[in-house]
Every structure is written in structure tokens, then in C-alpha cells.
Chains A and B, each alone.
Chain A
Amino acid sequence: MSTLVFAEHDGRALKAATLNTVTAAIKLTEPVHLLVVGQGIQEVASAAAQVAGVDKVLVADNAVYAHPLAEVLAPLLTELARAYNAVFLPATTTGKNVAPCVAAMMDVQQISEITAVVSPDTFVRPIYAGNALATVQSKDALKVITVRGTAFEAAPATGGAAEIMAVEAVQPVTGASFVGQELAVSVRPELTSARVVISGGRGMQNGDNFRLLEPIADKLGAAIGASRAAVDAGFVSNDLQVGQTGKIVAPDLYIAVGISGAIQHLAGMKDSKVIVAINKDDEAPIFQVADYGLVGDLFVELPKLSAALPSP
């Protein structure tokens, strides 16, 4: 039996999370088949066939799949899943949207956001926003799994030579239609996939002061985030929130500015590789997790930091 991996793509290229998911799937030591679904996706299928470690590429190229709605993807994946031991999806918003539908249709309990493969039926996954790691064993014959991309290396995008096989479309669930899409046109990277994140907390004092973060973000190619305290105080909108009730981030560099380090904020960023804290209170809990702490007034230190950083 083999492992089926759902490939996420933008219509032209595979998304990075797909390659991390392939690495996780390879750990089951069964042949890996990559499923590419969409409309007019020959280019993506060719790229998929070159991913190292992929044995076969299944391509469902059909107008039905123009938009990746759960209602069209889940019936296809469910139909195909019957021939596999395991179905892996990246834990992206698309993967998270579709995987549980497939699991429910196959009557299996999905395993969400795994961070390690212990054996073909045993996996590690974070719970309580990463404050605990659970090792779970599945009793279901079919495993339906979403994979946290940051926990696995990306499989090499080239070096493979998988055969490409077309698969038929499957009747979708009715009642849902795609209306539109509005992708962020921000020059800044997305919070959850940014290599650098700079976040402001209550210490920023108001929303206008968040502008002080912008020149630094520009120089570092960083996304801007905020603590729940800053959101609750109305400084910035909720979509910037990093924390247990906001976004979970794990960038190479996380800079916390004027953030005291409440538990719920730490839950959202403590897997970052390097953490920098700038806070005037040298007793702030954020310093207990920071690799580099700078005790000082952020209104003095931020302009200095901005000036000290080289232009990109």
C-alpha cells in the first residue's frame, strides 16, 4: 500500500508546504503518490513529478477543480483514499479545510498538524498551542493526517522522475460556490510563513506608534504582528494577533517589542528560532524566553535599530 499526499499549489507552482508534507509521508517508508488537483495544471504536474521521493503523480485536471473548495476536493480524495494506507495534507488553510471531510467520509479520526512520525501508526502532535506534545497512536486502518510544515524539512524539488497518471473527476457535494478571492497585496510576507516577524504589544501605547515597526520590517523583510493585549486595546486589528487565540508563528527571527510575555502570547511564538525582546521592564517574562534581550524604552530603541540595520 502507498501514501497519498495532497499537493497544494497556486495553479503554476507547488506551494512550499507540499514539499514538507512529502518529507513527512516518506517517513512511513511506503511509496508516495502526489495528487495534483486543479484546472490547467500540467505545469504543476510536471514539477510534482520531479520532487525527490515521489513515486507517482496523480493529476485531476478538470474545470470542476478551478477553485479548491472542500466540497469538490473531499469527494475526490475520499474516492482515491480507498486504495491507500494514509492520506497526508499540508496543514495549510486548504488542507485543514478538506482533511476532516475526508476523514469523516471514511469514518476515521484525523490526526492534526503532526510534527513527527514515530511509526506508521504513531505520531507526535502539539496540543494546547504547543504547550504540550502528545504522542498518539491511531487505531484506524486509514490514517488521515495534516502536517505542520515547519516541523519537516522540504523534500528536494528536483531529482525525481515519477510517472504521471490522470484521474477522473468525482461528483462534488452540492451547495457551495466560489464567489471571490482577495489575496493580500501587502508588500510584507504573510505572518504565518514569514522568515522574520516583528510584533508590538501594549507598550506601543497606540495604533499610530505601530508605524515605528514598519521601517524595521521593511529592512528585514518581516511581517508585523501584535500581542493580544495590543489587539484588545484597539491598537491594531485582530488578524495581526500572535498567540494562542491568534496566529501560531515559528520564524527564524521573532522580535517582541513592548510585549510583556503573557502565557497566551508565548504559546504563539515560542517555537521561533531566535527571539529578541525589547522592553523597558527588565523583569518582564518575555526575557525568560528571549535569546537576546534589550532593556530600554522602545521609543528610543526602535529608531536606533532601524538606523543600525542595513538596507535590503
Chain B
Amino acid sequence: MKALVAVKRVVDYNVKIRVKADNTGVETANVKYSANPFDEIAVEEAVRLKEAGLVTEVVAVSIGPALSQETLRTALAIGADRAILVQTDDEIQPLAVAKILKHLAEQEKPDLVVLGKQAIDDDSNQTGQMLAALLGWPQGTFASKVEIADGKATVTREIDGGLETVGLTLPAVVTTDLRLNEPRYASLPNIMKAKKKPLAVVPVADTGVDIAPRLVTLKVEEPPKRSAGIKVADVAALVDKLKNEAKVI
């Protein structure tokens, strides 16, 4: 059984985000990029399923600029077998991403597609669900546990207030939440090995998907700034302020 894993190249989670002076977006020049953390969890999960003998091949895919090859190499270093980059320099929104992934799923015929629940740049949390809907496959989103047996996936989901478990007939789509696993650090030998693994580059036009954005970003602004407050001398002063000034306790 084959697993397809989607990874996105995003601004690293430790970078301080700065809005461009002309309010057209955020500053992306000279900032560190990494694999979206939720997608790393997705790769790790697929690789663990392979190590457990439940999956035979893990194919990592990314959609984006040529530099996304680095992100795919990260996935290969964690343990994916091969990678596909659908290359485009254009802005690409979740609906178009889902349509491209559907195209790839129809070609690759995986039994399982694993994606991060959201990317930490646009925070949409849409792609996995859209892909499942377009394919007509069942979905297990925000997964904190995935078990595969007898052509079924049993997925424990993080929902408001607790956990929900769903049974999915394969093929299915799973999106990952934080508690699913802790991705390994790729070892140096595996990073070297990853450089030799196959990575196919496909121009986005070859997928036949219309990627024209449906949402126009009119402006991007800084959120209202918080200013530093005051230092209090001791606990008594703190409790007094919270009670009588802020009125929150």
C-alpha cells in the first residue's frame, strides 16, 4: 500500500513576521524557510507506517517554487522514498492545491494521503478536507492517532473538548495534529542518502488545473500592537491590579 504525503515550504516558525511597508504582504526576502511543522508530522507518520510494514512506499509531494525541492529533500531524509514537485512561482490557494493533489492522487493511486492540518503561513486549514471532498474519500482530520488494519484506518481526532474516533475505509485522507508524533531529526547519513532519491519536477501547467486565485488580497496589515504594561512590586500589588484595575478576577 502506498502513502502520499503533502509538504509545504513555509516561513520558519521561529521567524518574526514583518508586514511589508506597502501592505502587500509579509516580508519574505532573506528569511529562513522550513517544512510546515504539521507536514513534517505527516511525513513522520507515513514513514512510521512504512517501518511498521503497513505501507510499502511513501511519496512526498510539494507544490510551489523550485526552492521547495529543499523541503522535499527534508521529507526524503526523514524517510520518504521519492518526491514530486509541482512547480509554480504563482500564488496558489487551497482549492487549487487540493485539485492538483487530486490529479496526483489519480495518477499515483495511493491508499492513504497524509497532510498537515494547516500550513503556518496562511493558516487556512482547508486542503485535506477539500481533497477528500473532491476525491469522494472519507477523511480523518486533526489526527492524534492512526491505526491501519484490514483495509481500514481508525483515526483518533482532536476535537473541541476531547477526542473522537472514526473508522475510514481506505483510500482515505488524514490530516495531522500536533500530538500524532514527534518527527525525528534526520541523521547526516540519511540527509546524504536523500540527495540521491528520485525527485520529479512537473510544471503546474501539466496538471491541467486552473490555479487562478479566487481570493484577492487587498492589503496585509500589522495587528494592533500591544504595549508593555507595568511591573508590579509583589504578588499583593498584582492581585490588587487584577481585581481593581483590570477587573479580570
B interface, over-half SS: mixed
Are A183 and B235 in contact (CB-based, < 8 A)? Answer: no
Are B162 and A182 in contact (CB-based, < 8 A)? Answer: yes
Which of A47-55, A205-213, A269-277 participates in binding chain B? Answer: A269-277
Min C-beta distance of A246 to chain B, whole Å: 6
- Residue B52 CB within 8 A of the other chain: no
Are B136 and A295 in contact (CB-based, < 8 A)? Answer: no
A interface, over-half SS: mixed
- Residue B163 CB within 8 A of the other chain: yes
Are B129 and A101 in contact (CB-based, < 8 A)? Answer: yes
Q: Which residues does chain B contribute within 8 Å of A131, judged by CB atoms?
A: 16-17, 26, 223
Are B217 and A253 in contact (CB-based, < 8 A)? Answer: no
Are B13 and A245 in contact (CB-based, < 8 A)? Answer: yes
Best-surrounded residue of A71, A138, A178, A271 (most CB of chain B within 10 A) = A71
Of chain A, the residue at the smallest CB distance from B122 is: A127
Are B218 and A137 in contact (CB-based, < 8 A)? Answer: yes
- Report if A305-B215 is in contact (Cβ < 8 Å); known contacts: A101-B132, A276-B242, A292-B230: no
Interface residues of A in 280-312 (CB under 8 A from B): 282, 287-296, 301, 304-305, 308-309
Interface residues of A in 109-141 (CB under 8 A from B): 109-113, 122, 126-140
Min C-beta distance of A163 to chain B, whole Å: 30
Q: Which residues does chain B contribute within 8 Å of A24, judged by CB atoms?
A: none
- Report if A290-B235 is in contact (Cβ < 8 Å); known contacts: A181-B165, A183-B161, A184-B162: no
Are A237 and B179 in contact (CB-based, < 8 A)? Answer: yes
Are A190 and B214 in contact (CB-based, < 8 A)? Answer: no
Q: Which residues does chain B contribute within 8 Å of A137, judged by CB atoms?
A: 215-216, 218
Which of A27-35, A37-45, A169-177 participates in binding chain B? Answer: A169-177
Of chain A, the residue at the smallest CB distance from B132 is: A101
Q: Which residues does chain A contribute within 8 Å of B179, judged by CB atoms?
A: 237-239
A128 to B138, CA, bound (A): 29
- Report if A109-B95 is in contact (Cβ < 8 Å); known contacts: A126-B223, A190-B161, A282-B231: yes
Min C-beta distance of B82 to chain A, whole Å: 27
- Residue B149 CB within 8 A of the other chain: no
Q: Which residues does chain A contribute within 8 Å of B220, judged by CB atoms?
A: 127, 132-135
Are B165 and A244 in contact (CB-based, < 8 A)? Answer: no
Which of A58-66, A89-97, A154-162 participates in binding chain B? Answer: A89-97
Min C-beta distance of A116 to chain B, whole Å: 11
Are B238 and A177 in contact (CB-based, < 8 A)? Answer: no
- Residue A2 CB within 8 A of the other chain: no
- Residue A192 CB within 8 A of the other chain: yes
Min C-beta distance of A248 to chain B, whole Å: 9
- Report if A179-B125 is in contact (Cβ < 8 Å); known contacts: A245-B178, A274-B242, A294-B238: no
A293 to B235, CA, bound (A): 10
Best-surrounded residue of B127, B166, B217, B219 (most CB of chain A within 10 A) = B166
Which residue in B133, B164, B241 is a CB contact (below 8 Å) of A101?
Answer: B133
- Give per-residue flags for A98-110: 1 if the beta carbon is below 8 A from chain B beta carbons, else 0: 1111111101111
Are A130 and B167 in contact (CB-based, < 8 A)? Answer: no
Which residue in B95, B160, B167 is a CB contact (below 8 Å) of A179?
Answer: B167
Q: Which residues does chain A contribute within 8 Å of B246, judged by CB atoms?
A: 253, 273-274, 291-292
Are A109 and B229 in contact (CB-based, < 8 A)? Answer: no
Q: Which residues does chain B contribute within 8 Å of A92, judged by CB atoms?
A: 160
Min C-beta distance of A127 to chain B, whole Å: 5
Are B242 and A292 in contact (CB-based, < 8 A)? Answer: yes
Q: Which residues does chain B contribute within 8 Å of A256, judged by CB atoms?
A: none
- Residue B19 CB within 8 A of the other chain: yes
Are B178 and A239 in contact (CB-based, < 8 A)? Answer: yes
Are A110 and B126 in contact (CB-based, < 8 A)? Answer: yes
A133 to B131, CA, bound (A): 26
Are B223 and A110 in contact (CB-based, < 8 A)? Answer: no
- Residue A13 CB within 8 A of the other chain: no
Interface residues of A in 217-271 (CB under 8 A from B): 220, 237-239, 241, 244-246, 252-253, 262-264, 270-271
- Residue B54 CB within 8 A of the other chain: no
18 further contact pairs, Cβ within 8 A, besides A173-B136, A182-B164: A99-B129, A113-B123, A126-B123, A131-B16, A131-B223, A132-B222, A133-B221, A175-B137, A178-B165, A184-B161, A190-B160, A270-B226, A275-B229, A288-B228, A290-B228, A292-B242, A296-B234, A301-B235
